[in-house]
Structure 1
């Protein structure tokens, strides 16, 4: 019984109105899913002369003749699920069918299965090709036979793992965080339908492997591993085996997980009555090595590196040194950062060496929250590329950004504050309480009267917050005794670095501002940026390639209208900021359109000068009104002044 049939039967069996929450609980899914399904069910009800009644706050019922209700039940029993799938659901179902069948599928056959026209199936195939193109797969029509998926077996498995078991716009973390949904039709049935295997049995085998390995996988890695092992079983049953090079197999022979991988393969053979090849067993070993782990009792501060990591140690130290230079921080003595990166990068490099990928559901949030850190890391992952011949994808760059963000927080010294008040103890304590509640980076050194200001100098305090003006060399903020919101905002600008004191050379030149340029594509825009810089001898001939290399790492769109492409330091001869506004929006990453390009062209020596720029850009990137106003400007001086006030603030 499918979910739509379950919902209809449940409503029909109720004698009165029934709420969405009650339906969701009864069929083990979410209220949102029920509401979405009801939207798809409604046209089917109309076809059967039935009406769905929705009364806010009361519930739902289906009204009509008993004979029509019976006809509806018969409809669900005789018609296949496919007849009322949404287009996105149908496309994923077709994709699953293409993977499941070891033969070409005729378009006419698919049309009959899904109750749609030939032209609809043809359109679906175009959408499927968009879905799988990043895996270097393609659906092609073979004359006289039908459509098939073409590509490497390893690529097919990656696509299967990422696309087939999940609902559209839901990723692995959705199921990780919703145990109820994970055990319901939404995931389990899709897993069962697409792979025709018992999820629980595979899960038990992975749990046995964890026990033997002596460590636990993270929840995300465990589900990933279950899916990949299930795919290996199913593809083996279909006669599709993975291929690994002899050099790789030789290297894997010496891994400590080797014996457990072969024991796991033997267990799979026993449970699923299949014979995994030796190559498939090595593939399982790869997944063991690449999975993120949770090490019980591990203290990263006291973690001792094994003897096989000296190359990685040196590389990570160089990596930290490069990133800290751009961030204007000193992090190379942070043992916790160093050891955390070792723990993170060893399995990461294993994954990337063997072509295994890991989803990062927090990617967009991380990139938005830590733009300068993300950019600095993206600029320096070439170290790992050069050493290990791997490409560090955007998802992994975002994971690394979290480690550096944590290190930055650890290394930010609290601001030492002296609170001075002329109104007595009660008022001063109220001020202190408000400050502590609003800011976690303040250290209240003392609360005293204005008469004692001479007792404190720059070596003892960083900031004075006072209800009256005082004479001191230390920066002082004068506030109202009740600390109203406008005073809180003033304090926030100082203690949270909204206005950054900088000896920055960063500035906006009219020569680098290009207004209302008529460009039609990302390629045209990048060529335009490069040609302009080359003509002024600001970059080398390698700059355009470095722009495209950065685009390949991940999205450079930071809001609904701004892109921030940038090239490698090594290709820059002189620093500047390029600004381009466009006549018409241009597609950049996927469906994201941009109206403005901000290109920070920086040498390595000048990198720290642009920290204020990126900090303020992160603060203001969602201010749609501001950017619409800037994008509409026709005067370079006006744009330079407005943008300078927003992005290049100094206190």
Structure 2
């Protein structure tokens, strides 16, 4: 039987270098070539030497000379062949090691020796000890003590509530809510690439959750919602399903959670407790597990935090002021802070009221929430965030419970959207300063003509040239200076016109106004970048998540013509995402193709794309056909082997369309087209994700830098 070679990627690099060298190689030379430290290579050499014996070759070390591999030509050739086909053992990066240590420690019930970790991670015990030092703050933040006892090992000490919270946080550190939604819901679908998706889920979830029960939990939750005529938001749904799945796994492991008796009594008074009981009974019967009353209490908390139909108040206390009063008072606080009028915005009041009804329950129950946009909101819109924080302090005093920053961030998003509406519902007003030699009749005549021709201009003053600088300081900010006297200004644009405005003058002013930043005037008086809201950036992010989670590949499809290829493309999309009406999608693709298609003849690549009511998310599919097919278009008849299929919902926002457009825009790059047409799918997927990611950075970079 032919011996097998098992090496990690570093060892394979080192051995390949030695086998191909015509003379001995020193450790220093090898370190420079491979970018490794001498100490690392010395450790790896021990593993290499042991594994060479079955191949009849020997690793020779000569002091002052270097390293070499000695053996017959046949043995060396066999070793090189094995080296090229043998899989590499995983080498964990420092970050990956620490993530794995967190998972292992959170799930182990007993002390574990450092040797166990070092052998599992293929590093020294000193490295493991150093990693644990760096992880102590993470565990401390989650109210978990990391205990290390000589002779016994390493373990954690914490209550079950803290351990579960840490598990959930660790999960969200690696997966967004959108990714979790996509992963969790996939268990009720028959994806053709289910194996790939399962592996992805296992990498992130299997340590804490049994993926096999996700579908059963979802079915119970969905049917329960339908019976009550209620549907959770996606984020609430994800949090709820993950909570139940984790609770079930912990209960199966014998880990029960406790709840304060007084808190449980308050929860029992809520109507949601009966809902939680019914769900717990169904879960118990389906999963063959006893769910204690304490778990029912925590399920109730999640329902209250997600549903928000009533406000939970302490037992025995009079009903507090309702969410309506809180919303009205918070709007007034923000108005005072921002020096804006928001009370006439019904959308703000309604949105804030809905948010507060659920938020008050979360705050009273001290539930943890996550806001992935918190850092961006706080840093990019500090004034809005500060105003929302002040309003939150009022709410905190009323509720006698801390309002977390994540909640403040969500409130800031509501107020930020209202500020945008105050700007966009009013016409854009450019601030213009008029100047002439005397500041008398000529400027007044000019002002009258400009006011008639440009209703969107606000003339802040009419002055002489001698008064100009004082007027600029007084009326700042100024968008434009219009003058009847030729001159240049160091910091402001100047448009020189006739005293009696001519058509050329009107066009010249209009041209300069178009060249001004849209966010000037009133918006600068409030917030420099308020129109580019958090929601806009978030929509770009949604587009990225949808695309990266819906990249699919098919090989060996059958079609003899473009018409058949379009039918095959629609059918493939329908097989990947059940529920897609294939005839509708096929019809939409045909209609779009009739308007003109895109073919890269050199790569035998064509693109099909459309916006359709048949799809609900952005999708990108690379479809390869068994044989080249005739792709006929006006003035063109090309042979096509690969089709790039790009799909978007008809109602997709422009940010989503821009993100999927990043892919089609790259087809002009020969290397990109060649990769899509002929590279293995893992490389195609990597390239597509790179294009999408770079497009996201380019587009959102404008928001982070400010409007140019």
Query: Shorter-chain TM-score: which interval?
Result: 0.5 to 0.7
Cα deviation, 1:548-579, whole Å, max 9, x if unaligned, reads xxxxxxxxxxxxxxxxxxxxxxxxxxxxxxxx
Deviations 1:256-294 (A, max 9, x none): 22222112212222233221111011111111221278x
Report whether the alignment pairs 1:231 with 2:246.
yes
In the TM superposition, residue 411 of structure 1 has moved relative to its aligned partner by 2.6
**Does residue 134 of structure 2 align to residue 127 of structure 1?**
yes
**Which has the greater radius of gyration?**
2
Partner of 2:449: 453
1:268 aligns with 2:235: no
84 and 268 in structure 1: CA distance in 2 versus 1, 3 angstrom threshold: farther
Instruction: Give aligned pairs, total.
Output: 408
1:311 aligns with 2:325: no
The equivalent of 1:193 in structure 2 is: 207
Contact 1:213 1:257 in 2 (8 A): no
Q: 1:106 aligns with which of 91, 106, 113?
A: 113
The secondary structure found in structure 2 opposite 1:140 is strand
Counterpart-to-counterpart distance in 2, 1:487 and 1:407 = 26
Aligned counterpart, 2:405: 394
Instruction: Please point out which of 412, 415, 427 is paired with 2:427.
Output: 415
Q: CA RMSD in A?
A: 4.5
Q: Quick one: distance in 1 between partners of 2:119 and 2:450?
A: 89
Aligned to 2:53: none
1:316 to partner: Cα distance: 2.4
**1:100 and 1:195 in contact (8 A); partners too:** no
Contact kept in structure 2, 1:416 and 1:462, CA below 8 Å: no
Q: Give the alignment of 1:288-437 within 5 angstroms.
A: 288-291=303-306, 310-412=321-423, 413-415=425-427
Cα distance, 1:128 vs structure 2: 2.1
* TM, length-normalised to structure 1: 0.54
Displacement after TM superposition at 1:619 (Å): 11
Q: Distance in 2 between matches of 1:44 and 1:261?
A: 55
- CA distance, structure 1, for counterparts of residue 145 and residue 172 of structure 2: 19
Report the alpha carbon displacement of residue 96 of structure 1 after superposing the two structures with TM. Answer: 1.4
Work out whether residues 50 and 68 of structure 1, in 8 Å CA contact, stay in contact via their aligned partners in 2: no
| 1:205 has 2:217 as partner | no
- CA positional deviation for 1:211: 2.3
Q: Secondary structure at the match of 1:329?
A: coil
Aligned counterpart, 2:164: 157
Q: Distance in 1 between matches of 2:371 and 2:454?
A: 44
Secondary structure of the equivalent of 2:146?
strand
Q: In the aligned structure 2, how far is the partner of 1:332 from the partner of 1:225?
A: 35
Q: In the alignment, is the contact (CA less than 8 A) between 2:431 and 2:521 conserved in 1?
A: no
Q: Relative to structure 1, is the Cα distance of residues 207 and 189 closer, same or farther in structure 2, using a 3 angstrom cutoff?
A: farther
TM-score of the superposed pair, with normalisation by structure 2: 0.50
CA contact (8 A) 1:492 1:498 kept: no
- Asked whether the equivalents of residues 165 and 190 of structure 1 are also in contact (C-alpha less than 8 Å), the reply is no
Superposed displacement of residue 400, structure 1? 0.5
1:281 aligns with 296
* Alpha-carbon displacement from aligned partner over 1:47-73 (angstroms, at most 9, x marks no partner): 66499xxxxxxxxxxxx9665565787
SS at match of 1:340: helix
| Equivalent-residue separation in structure 2 for 1:363 and 1:385 (angstroms) | 19
CA apart distance, 1:460? 10
Shift of 1:494: 4.3
1:324, CA displacement in angstroms? 0.9
The alpha carbon displacement at 1:388 in A equals: 2.0
Would you say the 8 A contact 1:415–1:495 is kept in 2?
Answer: no
Aligned 8 A contact 1:50 1:65 in 2: no
- Kindly tell me: are residues 205 and 289 of structure 1, through their superposed partners in 2, closer, same or farther at Cα, counting changes over 3 Å? same
Flag structure 1 segments of 5+ consecutive residues without an equivalent. 1-39, 52-63, 296-306, 421-448, 502-617, 624-651
In structure 2, the partner of 1:241 is 256
The answer (yes or no) to whether the contact 1:316–1:341 under 8 Å persists in 2 is yes
Give, in whole Å, the separation in 1 of the partners of 2:223 and 2:11: 46
Give, in whole Å, the separation in 1 of the partners of 2:251 and 2:172.
Answer: 18
CA distance in 2, matches of 1:274, 1:219: 27
Q: For structure 1, which segment, 97-106 or 83-92, has the greater mean C-alpha deviation from structure 2 after superposition?
A: 83-92
Single out whichever of 348-357 and 155-164 deviates more from structure 2: 348-357
> Is the 1:353–1:388 contact (alpha carbons within 8 Å) kept by the matching residues of 2?
yes
Q: Which consecutive unaligned segments of at least 5 residues does structure 2 have?
A: 1-6, 19-75, 187-192, 310-317, 433-444, 461-478, 486-492, 497-504, 528-700
